[in-house]
Amino acid sequence: MSSFVTEVLASSGKLEKDDLACKISKLSRKVEETKEEVTDMINKKYVEFMPSMEGAEELLDQVESVSKDIDLLKSCIENEVQQNLHDAVTEYAKLKQQLEKNTAVIDLLQHLQEFDTAIEEYHRALQEKNFVVAAKQHGKARASVDALKAWKDTELPLVHALSSEITIQRENLIYHLGEEWQKLAVWKLPSTKTELTSEKSFLKTALHLNRGGSKGDESVPHALLPSILQALSIQGELHKKIKLFGQVLFKYMLKPLILYPSLVVEVSSQPEQGAVLSLQCTETKAEHPDPSQVYTKVLTVENPQFSLPISVPKQNTKTLSEILGDLIWEEMSECIIRECLVHSIPANSSQLAEYSEVIKQTEDFESSLKEMGYLAGDSTDLLKYARNINCHFASKKCQDVIVAARKLMTSEMHNTVKITPEYKLSIPKLPNPSGGEKERKESSKKSAHYDQQSLENEKQLSPNTLCLPMCRISESVQQLMELAIQTLSEVVGSSPQWYVLFYTVRNIFHLFFDVVPTYHKDNFLKLPHLAAIQHNNCMFIAHHLLTLGFQFKPHLPLKDGVAYFVDLVPGFRRLGARCFVAQMNVQKAEMLERLSTARNFSNLDDEDNYSVASKAIRQDISNVDGERLRTLCQTIIEEGPLVFNPLPDENKNKKYQEEVPVYVKKWMTLKEISMVLNANLQEIVDRWAEGKGPLAAEFSCNEMKSLIRALFKNTERRAAALAKITK
């Protein structure tokens, strides 16, 4: 056994795998033999104790020796296997890295080969004007370059050169596509210096659409247009080109056709060359385009036979007409609504029934566009606008009513009409409300019941007790009330969208509160006559607002909490009273000013006091006296200087006669009085010149006012002139 262990331990160097297995097998057999000997020894220990004891010790030593050999062998095996395993893993990693590198190089070479092949096919297709193939091959070449860029370790100058080349070739392809596109869609536009403000400025607009080659030209494919469009789509430039084309098409052709009724589109078709769309001018008296004419002209331009004969997919999702429709439809529909449909809204409710024809025309127009591919989906804003005619009519009516009301409020108030107690507003005959028959029966029963009763001390009031007294009001205010009644009459029996007209009528009277006192403010203070008319106007409106709402209440399906017009009555009464009181204060101030020279009335029996007071109250002269004063003053001015004749020669006396104003202090005052006596109010105001003119140098403000009051009647013009005589 010791020799076996020695043999095992003596073995050095690298153990082979087969030797290890053999040695392990031998060692296992030795272990089994040792076990058998140990068993025999144990069986014999009670027969021969001491020999067994010694044998056991020897066996123990033998077991320890074998255990050491096993540990040594185990350590040797572990070191050898671990070293071999590490070497194998390292070698495998190197082989794998080399394989990956070789694979990447092969892929790189393959991409380079694909790039070279794609570029060659690209150039060949570009020379043959096969733009679809050229675009696809360019896409393959770009994919190869992108794959090379994605290689993490690539820092080759070749990749940068290929990237620059693919960019250059893309721009070259787009340039050729743009050149061919311009040949297929040739625009003739007005000069940039021309202002596009009338239909005549668009008469030079024309669009020549070629079909992309002719039968006689064999070098160019007959279907060149779809090839160009599809190539643009592949390169991602189709949307940009169609957007620019759509903008020009809308600005120079579609929009003018919508704006100007006299413009029409003329299409001249050439069998081999394509079609030419041009704008022509016709005679028409229409101020705004008719919807049916606009729809016809737009469909003529967008007819696929002329303007868009080819449908080209973009990313296999949309056709060319759908792209163009998405780009220009929103702007075009807004233009049609703003310039056409808005003006087609009826001016009164009697024409609303005829508008159904416009709605049908709009539906047919959108259906035609959907068939051509310009529209997709349900109804658009254009059709919704046409169908919502009741709302638009009400809005337009409200706007027209407010504009008309404001025009009446800012018009002259001098034109007046006489109002008698018998005056009544002319309210049109209104239809019977629902349940009216039942209410009439109940009212007739009640009236019959009341007729049977006898009333004591019956006293009849005057028919004019609650009537407006006789007065004069502005004609514009009478027209304003008629406008309100007419507007309320149109609400009766109409759709719910028209109920806004009721609130528009209320807004008219609210507008009166703000516009009239502000717009006519100066006139109300300067012209007493207008202040009185304004007072009558306000009282007239307040009087009729008491019952106006209740006359229409059964015919207006409004909520019970809605105020009609009664709440406006106190405001109108205060407005009229305020204007009248302000004018009375002005008149009071003028009266006190006129009486300021009368000193007092305590001693009226004094002739002087009486004459002064009488003069202050009346302060007027007759026309005859005025004419005499003019004659006398003019005579004094002309002949007065002739009195000074110190020398026999009359020509030499002119020198002294011209010096009269120097020595006579009041001479200029006399000349100004003469001028005033012969002048009108405007000339007097101009000569006063806001206290800086020659009149102001001779007269005070109060003196000038007194002179005007004495010479002119109390009119609005005189009041205006007096207001301008200030320092």
- Segment 34-85, tens digit of pLDDT: 877 777 776 665 555 556 567 667 778 887 888 888 888 778 777 777 777 7
CA distance from start to end of the chain: 150
Give me the phi and psi of 629, to 5 degrees please. Answer: -60, -40
Which H helix or E strand runs over 279? strand 274-281
Does 12 have pLDDT greater than 50? no
The pairing of strands 206-210 and 185-188 is: antiparallel
Cβ-proximal residues to 331 (8 Å cutoff; 6+ apart), any chain:
250
pLDDT at 542: 92
- The amino acid occupying position 17 is K
pLDDT at 304: 58
| pLDDT exceeds 70 at position 272 | no
What's the CA gap between 72 and 66, in Å, rounded? 10
Among 334, 421, 429, smallest CA distance to 384 is for 334
Confidence band for 598, pLDDT divided at 50, 70 and 90: low
Query: Using one digit for the tens of pLDDT, what is the confidence trace for 394-427?
Result: 777 888 889 999 999 998 888 889 988 888 877 7
Torsion of Cα atoms, 286 then 292 then 294 then 295, to 10°: 180
- pLDDT given at position 68: 83
223, 211 in Cβ contact below 8 A?
Answer: no
> Does 200 have pLDDT greater than 70?
yes
**According to the model, what pLDDT value does residue 535 have?**
94
Q: Which of 110-124, 394-408, 566-580, 668-682 has the highest mean predicted lDDT (pLDDT)?
A: 566-580
Give the C-alpha separation, 532 to 541, whole Å: 14
Average pLDDT, the chain: 76
pLDDT for position 576: 93
pLDDT at 219 over 50: no
Would you say 636 and 669 are in contact if contact means Cβ atoms under 8 Å apart? no
**Segments of 166-271 assigned E as strands:** 185-188, 206-210, 263-270
Mean pLDDT of 204-219: 62
d(CA 378, CA 376) in angstroms, rounded, equals 7
Average pLDDT over residues 451-477: 71
Average pLDDT of the segment spanning 347-354: 68
d(CA 238, CA 316): 13
Give the pLDDT mean for 574-597.
83
Q: Which of 37-46, 176-185, 475-484, 619-628 has the highest mean pLDDT?
A: 475-484
Confidence of residue 237 (pLDDT cuts 50, 70, 90): confident
> pLDDT tens, 288-335?
788 888 888 888 887 754 444 444 444 455 677 777 877 888 888 888
24-28, 179-183, 278-282, 537-541, range with greatest mean pLDDT = 537-541
**Of the listed ranges 154-168, 362-376, 603-617, the one predicted with least confidence:** 603-617
Percent of the chain past pLDDT 90, that is, above it, reads 8
Residues of the chain with pLDDT > 70, as a percent, come to 74
Alpha carbons 8 and 334: distance in angstroms, whole number: 104
Q: Please give the Cα distance from 577 to 238 (Å, whole number).
A: 73
Contact 260, 199 (CB under 8 A): yes
Rounded CA gap, 414 and 237, in Å? 70
> 693: helix, coil or strand?
coil
Q: Can you give the pLDDT at residue 578?
A: 93
Q: With the C-alpha atoms ordered 484, 489, 490, 493, is the resulting torsion angle positive or negative?
A: positive
Q: Is 479 helix (H, G, I), strand (E, B) or coil?
A: helix
- Per-residue pLDDT tens digits for 88-103: 788 888 878 877 777 7
DSSP 381-414: HHHHHHHTHHHHHHHHHHHHHHHHHHHHHTS-S-
Cα atoms in the Cβ-side hemisphere of radius 13 Å centred on 616? 19
Q: How long, in residues, is the chain?
A: 727
How far is residue 429's CA from residue 425's CA, in Å, rounded to a whole number?
Answer: 12
Looking at residue 35, its pLDDT comes to: 73
The better pLDDT of the pair 241, 651 is held by 241
- The Cα–Cα gap between 344 and 350 comes to 14
For the CA atoms of 704, 707, 711, 715, the dihedral, rounded to the nearest 10 degrees, stands at 50
Asked whether residue 726 carries a pLDDT value surpassing 50, the answer given is yes
Q: Is 220 exposed, middle or buried (0-12, 13-18, 19+ CB in 10 A)?
A: middle
What the block records as the tokens of 31 is 């272990």
- The band of 536, judged by pLDDT with boundaries at 50, 70 and 90, is very high
